[in-house]
Amino acid sequence: MHSRSPRKFLPLRRHDLVVIEPRPEAPEPIISMWCENGWPLVARRPTSGDADGVALGLPLPPSHGKKRLSLVVQIDEIRSVQPPLALDSVTYMAPQDWLPTVERIAELAIEHELDVRVFGSLAWSVVTGLDYLTSTSDLDLLLYVAADTDLDRVIGRLAQIQAMAPMRLDGEFVRGDGVGANWQEFRSSAGDVLVKSLDGAGFVDRRRFLTGSTAI
C-alpha cells in the first residue's frame, strides 16, 4: 500500500485508513497508544456535532468492549492515508474455515474484473494484530465496480458463495467516486437503494447506480 503525499490527503473516501500523529492528551488513553503504535483510524462521515476538520473513527476489539470512538483531527496531524486492505493481503489471518469462501470471492473478482478489498473485523486484525474476530464475525467486503460491471450477475454469484459460506458476507459495491451501496440491499430491492459517501447519504434507483446518479 502506498501512502499519499501530505498535500494529497484530501479528499478522503469512506473506509480509507488514516494514520495520525501521536496524541498524548487524547480524550481516551487507548487513542494515544493507538497512535504511538502507528495504527490507523478510519475515515468516517462527519456528524452535525463535529468540529471542523477530518472526521475519523476507531472501532475497538471485543477485549475493549467493541466501542466505537470518534474524533476530529486537522490535516496537518495526518501522517499517511491508505486504501482499505486488498483481499489477498488478509488471507493469512482468516479463520481456516473461511478460506474456501475467500478463494471463491477471489475467483469472482477475476471473472468480473473487480478490485475487492476488506474492512471490518478481519481487516482490523491484520492491521493491529489484535483479536477482532469472533464466532459471529462477518466477512466485510468492498467490491469496486466499473460502469460496465454486470451487477446482477455479481449479485447472483455472491448469493451462491454466501449459501456455502460459514460466515455472513457483508459489504458494498463502490463506484469510482467512492459512493457505495450495500450489496444485500441491491439484491433485495427493485427500486431505490441507499448510497453513502463521506458527504452524506441518499437514495438512487438501482438501475442508475453505475451511471453516477445519486441523491446525495
The verdict on whether 138 is a catalytic residue reads yes
Of the candidates 115, 138, 192, 199, the residue annotated as catalytic is: 138
Half-sphere exposure of 39 (CA within 13 A, CB side): 18
* Whole-angstrom distance, CA of residue 198 vs CA of residue 216: 10
The three cell numbers locating residue 95: 479463520
Could you tell me if 43 and 207 are in contact, meaning their C-beta atoms sit under 8 angstroms apart?
no
* Whole-angstrom distance, CA of residue 196 vs CA of residue 183: 13
Q: Which residue in the block uniquely carries the three cell numbers 494484530?
A: 129
H or E stretch covering 176: none
Backbone φ/ψ region at 171: left (φ over 0), alpha (ψ -120 to 50), beta: left
* Whole-angstrom distance, CA of residue 45 vs CA of residue 28: 20
The verdict on whether 140 is a catalytic residue reads yes
Q: Residues 6 or more apart from 134 whose CB is under 8 A from it? A: 62, 121
* Whole-angstrom distance, CA of residue 1 vs CA of residue 27: 30
Task: Please report, as a single letter, which amino acid is at residue 21.
Answer: E
Would you please indicate which residues are annotated as catalytic (active-site) residues? 138, 140
